[in-house]
Amino acid sequence: MGRSNGLRFMIAAFLVSGLVTGCGSSKKEGAGQGQPATATKVGSESCTNTCHSTTKDITGNVIAQTWANTTHTTVQGVQCEDCHGGGSLHWGVGPMPFPIPQAEQCSQAKCHASFLSGFNQTAHANTHAQGTPFGPDKFFFQGDPGSGQADLRLRNGKDVQEVTPDGKPVNKSQHIVECSVCHNPNQRFVAYSTNLFRPSQRVFPSDTGNNQSEESTNFRDRYINPAVSCAGCHDAHQPQQMVKIPQRSTPVGYPIYRRYSTHELGAFRGAVVPEGTAPNSTLTPTVSATKKEINPELICAACHTVSKYKFSNLSTHQNNVYPQWSNSAHAEHNDPAWAEFSASPTSYINPNTGLNYTPADTGHQTIYPFDMALKASGATATATQNAAVPSGTRFNDNFPCFKCHNGIGSTAWQQNIQGTPAAPVIFGDVTATCITCHDPHQNGTFANGAQTTNNVNVPVAMTNYSTAAVKIFGNVFLDNQPVPQNNANATICIFCHQGRESGFTLYRTKLAPGKPVAGLPFLNPHYLGTAAMLWGANGYEYAGKSYSFNTAHQAANCTTCHMANPTPDNLAGGHTWERNVATCNVASCHGGFGPIPAVAGTVTPDLSTYRATFDTNNYSGDANGATQGIADAIRSLQQRLIGLLAAQATPIFYNDLKYPYFFADSASTNSFTAWTPATYKAAFNLSFVVKGLPSGATSQANVPNGSAAAHDYKYCIQLLQDSITDLSGAPIPGAFRPADVRPATVYGPGQ
């Protein structure tokens, strides 16, 4: 179990009783909760064969049935009392040491102790004791139950008295019930009339302190201290089930998460197998016309979606993360980055054409289950590994692509466990989901000891590149420049948004002395290498030149520009990652230089025309170069370079919408391979800059390049100008080269 069985979505085998009835009492807590040391074990059969053979737990499952089939029981041999404590004093009416086990019980030395220290540093854990700062009020704001009116809530800067739709005040007990859904999801609070029926009010501290002596402080803190404990996310009585897949000689586990219900989402369970797949079936790799999507993000969505309070029917207070994410490219199953890697690409609609993907788009089609522990690709794949399609003509070779093109496969690469027994099995299509960027069990830690917030991941190695010619591993970009170690929560973005090649890898694999460049296919830097642009990395840098970077945007980093100021319609800012114009147009940034034009009816900056009023440099050499938008200046340089390539003695034609992008004819039918060092360098830089934008219906070479302009216009302009100068033998007349900061990255002799 643990990290060896599923990485970020691994199932820590966490049990929670959730017993809703007992043999002799309706109170599962019994009397004398402060006496756990005197209890001894009586055996699981006493629990499951007598009192609780039909009792349902908090998720709605029959405890005896689910517990008997869980890997806790069948693999680890965990018994009821291993989690709940000895039952000799219970028998339906007496005390149970741990009626609602919390993280401490799951993290016993023999079980999941390795999780506790990291988990206790997260906001979910709320390990603070009663009455201390960040105690119950931080997670509940309602410390005690009772018939008194619930404490006022601060809404839009004003204290609001919450009332039911028929005008009755919401009382303390009622508000504990509705808040506990997220703030203490391991508990099941039930209110009848004005009092809490379950759990007993005796276990709450009172305003006067009269009840404090009835229960031990240790028990009370463990029992009611609000926190998102282990069983708040995991289906505690069956955290996973085992299933046989052809890739493995022994069964593997797939996770099962808690059921939740919110007004917007309804009820669901976050199991990570394709919908409609029987949990206990043999999962065989097949190519099907149906979608095989999995949605582990739904377990997070239950609490990270604005819903309605049960009694007041007012909107809940949290950030609306799930709807924002749902409107993002990270979540869009139809986008080529996800659909072309799905089990059935032709079942999805290509947003660029409005039509279903065609059979020509199935080159990256995935066959599930896909085992990230079995590093196999091409002709080496066999039926015992990641198998071939039935015809045997194509193999399931997405292993390296899943670094970015599968939200669960990415977690294996981030932890550098791909190709090892610790890597997860992927049971269906998944986009960049919550656990791709967040580890619910711990905050990320940098090499210098600094930690991220909000459980954001820090990859073990930002780059893991290995060929016969070059190996790059560690917290460096693909050109061996170090990745900033203090970039807080934006570092995870670099992992996928630096592309997959650099000027350094181009030099080492194609252009180093003694390497024949002619006859080689194009080395593609890939799409959306915008994080590399931002940090002035991965372009082909020319010896003797110096390069710059946009220090202001580096200081802002990805999260400031892409995640600030979420809009009420959930279409920009926040977890949409769409820029909100309000983020840019502030006095400390671009607001001091005149407003950023916005497309009518949207909040997205019109980066195509923007230019700071103080900047009068002519970067393109065009007649209007001193006033044209920066994105237009970059487009002009792109077009000039495209023209130079086409004017070579052996013409090179560019089409960024058709792989491999450089062709020997204008019809884009024959790949260009007659490279010279100069043309290869220039082509690489052209593709690096153009592909900072995802391709649309027309070539991005003919569209203002707002992405390159925003992420680092100085670096991109320098790369394009230097490529033009190298090809033509002279700088562009009248074009200003941005001021430089550092010498070119050294690749080797002949650079």
d(CA 462, CA 414): 8
What's residue 387's pLDDT?
60
Alpha helix segments (H runs only) across 109-262: 113-119, 136-139, 172-183, 217-224
402, 407, 412, 413 alpha-carbon torsion, rounded to 10°: 50
User: How many of the other CB atoms lie within 10 Å of CB of 254?
Assistant: 26
Q: Is 210 found in the same domain as 153?
A: yes
Tens-digit pLDDT profile for residues 136-156:
566 666 667 778 888 766 666
DSSP count for the chain of H helices, then E strands:
22, 18
Cα separation values, 668 from 423, 539, 658, 660, Å: 40, 25, 8, 9
- Tell me the residue length of the chain: 751
Q: Is 630 found in the same domain as 516?
A: yes
Tens-digit pLDDT profile for residues 68-119:
877 787 778 888 888 888 888 887 777 778 888 888 888 887 788 888 888 8
**Per the domain annotation, does 113 fall within a domain?**
no
Local structure of 654: helix, strand or coil: strand
Q: What is the DSSP letter of 49?
A: I
How confident is the model over 552-567, as a mean pLDDT? Answer: 90
Say how many domains are in the chain.
Answer: 4
Judged against a pLDDT cut of 50, whether residue 312 lies above it is answered with: yes
Judged against a pLDDT cut of 80, whether residue 191 lies above it is answered with: no
pLDDT tier at 596, thresholds 50, 70, 90: low
Report the candidate in 713, 718, 724, 661 with the shortest Cα–Cα distance to residue 687. Answer: 661
d(CA 536, CA 482): 11
**Per the domain annotation, does 108 fall within a domain?**
no
What's residue 296's pLDDT?
83
What's residue 2's pLDDT?
34
Q: What is the DSSP letter of 445?
A: B
Report the candidate in 479, 474, 516 with the shortest Cα–Cα distance to residue 748. Answer: 479
**Per the domain annotation, does 637 fall within a domain?**
yes
Query: What are the residues whose beta carbons fall under 8 Å from the beta carbon of 506, sequence distance 6 or more?
Result: 523, 540, 680, 681, 684
Report the candidate in 344, 428, 411, 430 with the shortest Cα–Cα distance to residue 373. Answer: 411
Q: Worst-scoring range by mean pLDDT, 87-96, 305-314, 471-480?
A: 87-96
Cβ atoms of 263 and 220 closer than 8 Å: no
**DSSP assignments along 338-387, one per residue:** HHTTSS-GGGSEETTTTEEPPGGG-TT---BSEETTS---GGG--TTSSP
User: Is the model more confident about 51 or about 376?
Assistant: 51
Q: Is 48 found in the same domain as 89?
A: yes
Judged against a pLDDT cut of 90, whether residue 427 lies above it is answered with: no
What's residue 116's pLDDT?
80
**Per the domain annotation, does 536 fall within a domain?**
yes
Query: What are the residues whose beta carbons fall under 8 Å from the beta carbon of 542, sequence distance 6 or more?
Result: 681, 722, 726, 744, 751
pLDDT tier at 246, thresholds 50, 70, 90: confident
What pTM did the predictor assign? 0.88
334, 340, 342, 345 alpha-carbon torsion, rounded to 10°: 80
Backbone φ and ψ for 476, nearest 5 degrees, come out as -135, 160
pLDDT tier at 173, thresholds 50, 70, 90: confident
pLDDT tier at 377, thresholds 50, 70, 90: very low
Q: Worst-scoring range by mean pLDDT, 182-196, 244-258, 323-337?
A: 182-196
What's residue 51's pLDDT?
81
Report the candidate in 474, 588, 571, 493 with the shortest Cα–Cα distance to residue 532. Answer: 493
Q: Is 514 found in the same domain as 423?
A: no
What's residue 1's pLDDT?
32
d(CA 161, CA 151): 8
Tens-digit pLDDT profile for residues 689-739:
999 987 677 788 889 999 999 999 999 999 999 999 999 999 999 999 998
Cβ atoms of 531 and 438 closer than 8 Å: no
Q: Is 433 found in the same domain as 356?
A: yes
Judged against a pLDDT cut of 70, whether residue 619 lies above it is answered with: yes
**Per the domain annotation, does 1 fall within a domain?**
yes
What's residue 395's pLDDT?
63
Q: Is 386 found in the same domain as 407?
A: yes
Domain boundary among 227, 253, 278: 227
Report the candidate in 524, 691, 710 with the shortest Cα–Cα distance to residue 612. Answer: 710
Q: Which long-range contacts (CB under 8 A, 24 or more apart) does 217-223 make?
A: 217/130, 218/34, 219/33, 219/34, 219/36, 220/130, 221/129, 221/130, 222/98, 222/102, 222/104, 223/29, 223/33, 223/99, 223/100, 223/199
Cα separation values, 536 from 483, 692, 714, 726, 743, Å: 11, 13, 9, 20, 12
Strand-pair partners of 370: 426
How confident is the model over 595-622, as a mean pLDDT? Answer: 80
318 Cα distance to chain centroid: 19
Domain boundary among 201, 227, 253: 227
pLDDT tier at 202, thresholds 50, 70, 90: low
Q: Is 347 found in the same domain as 431?
A: yes
Cβ atoms of 367 and 396 closer than 8 Å: yes
254, 260, 266, 272 alpha-carbon torsion, rounded to 10°: -10
**Per the domain annotation, does 480 fall within a domain?**
no
d(CA 718, CA 633): 12
Judged against a pLDDT cut of 60, whether residue 266 lies above it is answered with: no
Q: Token pair 């360098």 is at which residue?
A: 681
Q: Is 355 found in the same domain as 297?
A: yes
Instruction: Write out 205-223 in H/E/C secondary structure.
Output: CCCCCCCHHHCCHHHHHHH
d(CA 727, CA 256): 58
Q: Is 361 found in the same domain as 255?
A: yes
How confident is the model over 346-368, as a mean pLDDT? Answer: 89
What's residue 720's pLDDT?
98
Q: Is 56 found in the same domain as 156?
A: no
Give burial (CB, 10 Å; 0-12/13-18/19+) of 652: buried
Domain boundary among 171, 202, 227: 227
What's residue 15's pLDDT?
25
Give burial (CB, 10 Å; 0-12/13-18/19+) of 207: exposed
Q: Is 357 found in the same domain as 214?
A: no
pLDDT tier at 264, thresholds 50, 70, 90: very low
pLDDT tier at 200, thresholds 50, 70, 90: low
Cβ atoms of 396 and 285 closer than 8 Å: yes
What's residue 11's pLDDT?
27
Cβ atoms of 206 and 36 closer than 8 Å: no
Cα separation values, 495 from 7, 413, 447, 474, 537, Å: 17, 10, 16, 11, 13
Tokens found for residue 267: 């009820």
**DSSP assignments along 313-349, one per residue:** -PBP-S--HHHHHHTSTTT-TTSHHHHTTSS-GGGSE
User: Is the model more confident about 497 or about 254?
Assistant: 497
pLDDT tier at 327, thresholds 50, 70, 90: very high
User: Is the model more confident about 504 or about 273?
Assistant: 504
User: Is the model more confident about 210 or about 123?
Assistant: 123
Give me the percent of the chain exceeding a pLDDT of 90: 36
Q: Is 652 found in the same domain as 507?
A: yes
Q: What is the DSSP letter of 394?
A: S
d(CA 105, CA 108): 6
How confident is the model over 654-680, as a mean pLDDT? Answer: 95
**Per the domain annotation, does 689 fall within a domain?**
yes
Domain that holds residue 431: 1-12+242-302+319-442
Strand-pair partners of 443: none
How confident is the model over 607-611, as a mean pLDDT? Answer: 83
Cβ atoms of 466 and 330 closer than 8 Å: no
Query: Mean pLDDT of all residues in the chain?
Result: 80
pLDDT tier at 199, thresholds 50, 70, 90: low
**Per the domain annotation, does 357 fall within a domain?**
yes
